[in-house]
Structure 1
Amino acid sequence: MTEIARYRRLHVHVAAGIMFAVSIGGSPAFAQQGATGKSFVDNFDTLDKSFWYISDGWNNGDHQNCTWSKGEVHQADGSLELGFEKKKLGARDYACGEIQTKARFGYGTYEIRMQAATGSGLNSAFFSYIGETDNKPHDEIDFEVLGKNTDEVQLNQYVSGTGGNEKLVAVAGGADKSYHDYAFIWAADRIRYFIDGKLVHEVTDTSKIPSNAQKIFMSLWGTDTLSSWMGPFAYEAPISMKIDRVAFTAPGEDCQFPDSVLCTLD
C-alpha cells in the first residue's frame, strides 16, 4: 500500500537516536545484537523519564498534520494519556503525543492495555520500530487502530523497509469504547498476535519477520493526506489515547502479571 509506505518512518528524531539504553529491572533480552532492554511492567503510576523518551518539537513528514509535543503526554491516576488537539506548533496546526523507550528490545512478548482515540484521520499506535536514525534497517511490528473504524485494529510488519503485510482484525465492542489488551510474541521463526488474550494472527514466513532489536513506541497522530488509508481528517475536539499498562517479557521468563497472555499459554 503506497500511502502507508510514504508514511513510514522518518520516525525518531536524531536526539532520540543517541540516547543511552536504560531499563526497569528484570533479566536482559539479548536475543539480537543491540537488544539491551530487560523485562518490565509499567502501570504508569509515574512517568519514568529515565526509561521513556517523550517525542517533542518535530513531526514525521508531510503526511503528518501534527507536531509531537510533550504537552500532549499526561500521566495521572495510574494511566497515561497521549493527546491530540488543535494547537499551532511549528509548521503544523495540531499537537500530538508520543513516547518511546530509550532501550532496544529483542525477541519476547510485548503487551499493552489501551483505549484508542476516535476520529477519522487519527491513528492510535502501539509498535516496535528501529530505522535509519539508529543506523539500522527499517524493521517494525504494529498494532494500529485507525479512528475511521475503531471496530478493528490493523496488524503489520516491516522488514528492511518492506511492509505490505497488513491484516485487519475485529476488536469486540470497539477499540475506543473501553480498554483492550493487545500483545505480540516475537520469535525468530514466528510472530503471534493476540487481542484480549486470544490468538488472532500468526506469521510464520521468516521473510516477513523482523530481526533487528527495536524500541517500543506508543503514539497518537493525524493526517490530512493519507485519507485512503486512515480516512478523511475530521477534527471535532481534543481527544486522547489512554494506556493503562505496557510490558515486555524476555523469552523463557514467567508471566509478570495475571492478565498477561503468557499466563494462559502452554
Structure 2
Amino acid sequence: MLKSDGAFISILGNGLPAERFYISEHSNDDSFQGGDWVRENVVSGPDGLRLDVTATGNPKKPYGLAEVSVLGTYGYGRYETIMRPAKGSGLVSAFFTYTGPYFGNPHDEIDIEFVGKDTSIVELNYFHKGKTGNSARIKLPFDASQQDHLYAFDWKPEGISWYVDGKLIYQTPVNDPHLPKNAGRLFVSNWTGKKELQQWHGAPDFGDRGSAYYSCISYTPLGENTRRCADIFQPGTQFPAAGE
C-alpha cells in the first residue's frame, strides 16, 4: 500500500488555510504553460475558490494563471471535488494528482480536465513514468460551466474509476501497465498553454479573464469511510461555500 496522508474535506471559501494549501507563484518559462502562476489570480470568496486566467498585456508572458495544491501526499483512495470549469477557448480547468522529478519520483498523474472551448466534454487521463494510459473524452449531458457538479475518481491498485454526480463514466482497462504507482500531490488549476497547445485547447478567446470555481475538495483513503464532498453536494444547485 502506498504511504499517504490522511483523509480530509475542505469546503472552500473565505480564505485558504496555510496549513492545508499552497498557492503556486512562480515562472513557467520552461513549461508548456502560456504564462506564470500568479497568487492574486487565486480568489477565495462566498462562491468558493475562484481561479482566474487573466490577460497581462505583456507579449512575452501574455497570461497570468492560477494553481492551488493540497499539502501532503496522497495515494490510493477516493478523490472528489465540486467544481464549475471555466468557459472560453484556450482555457483548461483541472483537478488532478501529480508527482514527478521535482518531488523525487517518476512522473505519475491522474487527471480530470475541461477544455473551455467545449465544456460539455470531460477529459480523463493518467500517467506512469511519464507515459499516458488509455485516456478518454466523455460527452456529458450538460454544459459543465453552467453550474456546480460533483467529479470524482477512485484510485485502487487494480485500476481507476471516474464518476460524475455519483455515476460511473469510465474505468481503466484490466492490467493496464500505465497505472500510477506513486503517491502524489493533489492540485486544482486554471491555465492556458503556449501556442503549440492551441491545436488541443484552442486559441485564447475569453476576454480579460476566464474563471473556474471549486467549492469542495476531499480525499478518503482506500478502505476508509470518511466525510467527503458527495455528502454536501446538492445536485442542480451551486453550493454556497464558506469556511473549511
Whether these two folds match at TM > 0.5 is yes
Aligned to 2:220: 249
Q: CA deviation at 1:63?
A: 2.8
Change in CA separation of 1:254 and 1:62 when aligned onto 2, cut-off 3 Å: closer
CA distance in 1 between partners of 2:83 and 2:141 (Å)? 14
Is 1:228 the counterpart of 2:199 in the alignment?
A: yes
**In structure 2, C-alpha distance between the alignment counterparts of 1:75 and 1:54, rounded to whole Å:** 12
TM-score, length of structure 1 as denominator length? 0.81
CA–CA distance in structure 2, aligned partners of residues 115 and 143 of structure 1: 12
8 A contact 1:180–1:196 mirrored in 2: yes
Percentage identity across aligned positions?
31
Q: Does 2:140 align with 1:171?
A: yes
- Is residue 197 of structure 1 aligned with residue 166 of structure 2? yes
Superposition deviation, residue 89 in structure 1: 7.0
Cα root mean square deviation, aligned: 1.9
The residue number in structure 2 matching 1:7 is: none
Do 2:133 and 2:176's aligned partners in 1 also have CA atoms closer than 8 Å? no
Structure 1 runs not aligned, ≥5 long: 1-30, 262-266
Contact 1:88 1:95 in 2 (8 A): no
- Letter paired with 1:142: D
SS at match of 1:245: strand
**Conserved 8 A contact 2:99-2:183:** yes
Partner of 1:63: 32
Gaps of 5+ in 2: 233-244
Distance in 1 (CA, whole Å) between partners of 2:19 and 2:229 is: 26
TM-score, length of structure 2 as denominator length: 0.88
Higher relative contact order (CA 8 A, sep 6+): 2
How many angstroms does 1:236 deviate by?
A: 1.5
What SS does the corresponding residue of 1:154 show, helix, strand or coil?
Answer: strand
Alignment of 1:74-153 (within 5 A): 74-77=43-46, 79-87=48-56, 91-153=60-122
* Aligned-residue offset at 1:101: 1.7
C-alpha distance 118-60 of structure 1, shift in aligned 2 (>3 A): farther
In structure 2, the CA distance between the partners of 1:164 and 1:32, relative to structure 1 (3 Å rule), is closer
